[in-house]
Chains A and B, each alone.
Chain A
Amino acid sequence: MSNSLSVAQPRKRAPLWLWPLVWGALLLLSVVAMSAAEPLFRWIEPDARQVIYDRADFYVLLGRHLLVVGIAALVTVVVGVSAGIAVTRERGSDFLPLVGQLASLGQTFPPVAVLALAVPVLGFGTLPIIVALMLYGMLPIVRNTLAGLQAVDIDIKTAAHAMGMTPTQTLRYVELPLAAPVILAGIRTSVTINIATAALGATVGASNLGDPIISGIVNGNMAYVVQGALTIALLALTVDSLFELLQRQLRSRLSAP
């Protein structure tokens, strides 16, 4: 969604792996060597007793952040894509309008509100934020799966049918590969949004990269906020550029003779 316009730019000949490598290296650097930047953060917060967040190591926070986003993404992809496939089959087509509406309803629910409503049921900790991320990230995946599968040319499907393919084979060898770039774009949007949204989990006791931000806001320590925000932004850029790489490879494989 957020990249629909930037994708259309003329292709530059930069090596494909350049940006993931650059962002990944910066991310690693910031996680491992945050304390080396102490003078810089001291300049931001000259009066604070401490300028480097040290209640947990940054790589631990990064790991937990990735775990939360990863689990949510895994569940969302499995549920979203299979729901998209199910309602575009003949037997499930009754559910098509409802699933489309439901997915867009999911993004209407603000993640903070979902998080708050999940806490009474699931308790404090990591589980509520995973649920909130799942609901919030469902729309792009379901929408793009539906769009991708519905955009497959009817003649191609008829040809597959005429070749004697069963519906399962048509799905596996014709529809899914053709819809894959669109579905992947949906997964990319969903994951990128959720990397930033996962920081909210720190407000309900899920320890992740949102922790330094919350603790910085509470203690009025800007340096903590910058550290958390920087790491999350670098993580988002790394993952986004990885998806870009994946999409380009998929596209070049599809257009190859």
Chain B
Amino acid sequence: MSLLDALSTPRLRWDGRHPNTVLVSLSLIMLAAFWSLDVVSMAPNRIVQGTSYGALEALGWPGALLATLLLSFIGILAWQPSPRHYRALLAAVMTLMALMPVGLIASSYLLIDPELPQARLGLGAAYWVVLFVLLLCLIEIRLRLKLTRLWPTLLLCGVALVWWLCATLWLDSLALVQEFKARDRQFLRAIGQHVTLVGAAVSISVVVGLVLAMLMRRYARLQKSAFAVLNFLQTIPSLALFGLLLAPLAWLAANVPLLGQLGVSGIGTTPALIALIAYSLLPMVRNTYIALEEVSPDTLEAAKGMGMRAGQRFWQVRLPLALPVLLEGVRITTVQAIGLTAVAALIGAGGLGTFIFQGLGQAAMDMVLLGALPILMLALVVDAGLGALAEALRPGGTR
């Protein structure tokens, strides 16, 4: 009997006897990380290696106590789960996230000597671990409360707003903020370039992908060879594809004046865009093809029976039904393109990758963070946003 019970039984027991082991263990992990790893590090200037501080030194008795209480609160509530407790858990997780920058403000008052204007505060391992595990808690709570992806995303946006406010108003000593203030124009331009490149590459590959997938459906022989070519493209490292485009494009720009006038050149945006599209095509074409193929023949038959013409059947039946899977392809493609665009910085395409590679070159880790964190956040936001959109567009609503 136990074997049968173990299979595909939805584990949503509201009876309160079964503790939510996931949240309890996550809470214990956070407590352990909070007390054993360093919370912040402080360096007198940009070059010197910082000294690390634990929870007590960084937050003082009251701060450390408050954090411990909130973290244990998550475990205690999860011991007897119920819908009400899960909502309280959601509130606790959000409060903790919103309080994190406040903790940093406290430690900047406690640790930084006002006579050292160059002093900078770095986030310690405990901060990252707790933040990451809190996100895991959020995912778990979202699944238990059966919320759509939209709500956690909105709540996280609120938290991000709090962080941004704290960072601009009170956290001048934070290393990340200092790096940002030193090059805020560059940073905004880099974000703009990054988003533009990703947007251009994805929108072009959506169109090309749709056309290719439709051609494949018509000519079966094309399908095999096209997938073979696209599969092969993916085995070439992104780094190499960017590099390989340098020479031919430089030659073209030099020898075909019209292209040169259009802004085609060996380094910069053009090779980056071409490589990004080449990489985006496989996931895009594959998902579009599968999406269009998977529409139930019965539905199409019914549409035909209703007297719809071929064009109407495609635009009014097949495409809308294929849209969620198609959007899944757009999501995968976009997330992948956000990461690849970072690599494109190596061939002078700009974008957030510039900070990563400059920072790595100078061994300035805060600058690396300034490039890597926004990329990560961009990827997560796009992932959540497009995922929520695909969920909402699924026929029959969000559930």
Which of the 9-residue segments A26-34, A49-57, A94-102 touches chain B?
A94-102
Q: Is B244 an interface residue (CB 8 A)?
A: yes
Within the complex, which residue of A158, A225, A237, A240 is in contact with B3, where a contact is CB–CB below 8 Å?
A158
Closest to A223 in B: B247
Within the complex, which residue of B9, B360, B376 is in contact with A110, where a contact is CB–CB below 8 Å?
B376
Which residues in A have their C-beta under 8 angstroms from that of B242? 217
Given contact pairs A98-B139, A108-B379, A108-B383, A113 touches B342 in the complex (Cβ within 8 A): yes
B287 to chain A, nearest CB (A): 11
Q: Are B3 and A196 in contact (CB under 8 A)?
A: no
Which residues in A have their C-beta under 8 angstroms from that of B3? 157-158, 161, 167, 170
Chain B interface size band reads 35 or more
Interface residues in B342-381 (C-beta closer than 8 Å to A): 342-343, 346-347, 353, 356-357, 359-360, 365, 368-369, 371-373, 375-376, 379-380
Q: Is A68 an interface residue (CB 8 A)?
A: no
A216 to B247, CA, bound (A): 11
Q: Mark A1-43, 1 if CB is under 8 A from B, else 0.
A: 0111110010000000000000000000000000000000000
Q: Are B369 and A117 in contact (CB under 8 A)?
A: yes
Which of the 9-residue segments B105-113, B226-234, B310-318 touches chain A?
B226-234
Which residues in A have their C-beta under 8 angstroms from that of B143? 97-98, 101
Q: Is B243 an interface residue (CB 8 A)?
A: yes
Q: Are A110 and B339 in contact (CB under 8 A)?
A: yes
A107 to B353, CA, bound (A): 18
Which residues in A have their C-beta under 8 angstroms from that of B286? 4-5
Interface residues in A113-129 (C-beta closer than 8 Å to B): 113, 116-117, 119-121
Q: Mark B298-340, 1 if CB is under 8 A from A, else 0.
A: 0000000000000000000000000000000000000110111
Which residues in A have their C-beta under 8 angstroms from that of B357? 203
Which residues in B have their C-beta under 8 angstroms from that of A158? 3-4
Given contact pairs A196-B237, A200-B343, A6 touches B356 in the complex (Cβ within 8 A): no
Number of A-B contacts (CB under 8 A): 167
Within the complex, which residue of B6, B240, B247, B372 is in contact with A117, where a contact is CB–CB below 8 Å?
B372
Q: Are B244 and A225 in contact (CB under 8 A)?
A: yes
Q: Is A176 an interface residue (CB 8 A)?
A: no
Which residues in A have their C-beta under 8 angstroms from that of B207? none
Within the complex, which residue of A6, A90, A112, A226 is in contact with B228, where a contact is CB–CB below 8 Å?
A6
Q: Are A119 and B21 in contact (CB under 8 A)?
A: no
Q: Are A113 and B379 in contact (CB under 8 A)?
A: yes
Q: Are A213 and B239 in contact (CB under 8 A)?
A: yes
B293 to chain A, nearest CB (A): 10
Q: Is A172 an interface residue (CB 8 A)?
A: no
Which residues in A have their C-beta under 8 angstroms from that of B21? 94-95
* Residue among B236, B238, B240, B376 with max Cβ neighbours from chain A (10 Å): B240
Which residues in B have their C-beta under 8 angstroms from that of A83? none
Q: Is A63 an interface residue (CB 8 A)?
A: no
Closest to B235 in A: A236
A22 to B243, CA, bound (A): 27
A58 to B238, CA, bound (A): 20
Q: Is A204 an interface residue (CB 8 A)?
A: yes
Interface residues in B237-257 (C-beta closer than 8 Å to A): 237-244, 246-247
A158 to B235, CA, bound (A): 42
* Residue among A170, A197, A203, A240 with max Cβ neighbours from chain B (10 Å): A203
Closest to B380 in A: A108
Which residues in A have their C-beta under 8 angstroms from that of B343? 112, 200
A170 to B356, CA, bound (A): 49
A107 to chain B, nearest CB (A): 8
6 A-B pairs (CB sep. < 8 Å): A3-B231, A95-B22, A108-B335, A116-B368, A213-B243, A222-B246
- Beyond A120-B365, A121-B125, A158-B4, 9 additional contacts (C-beta under 8 Å) are A90-B6, A93-B9, A95-B22, A110-B336, A110-B340, A112-B339, A216-B243, A225-B240, A225-B244
Instruction: List 4 tightest A-B contacts by C-beta distance, closest first.
Output: A110-B339, A229-B240, A90-B6, A225-B243
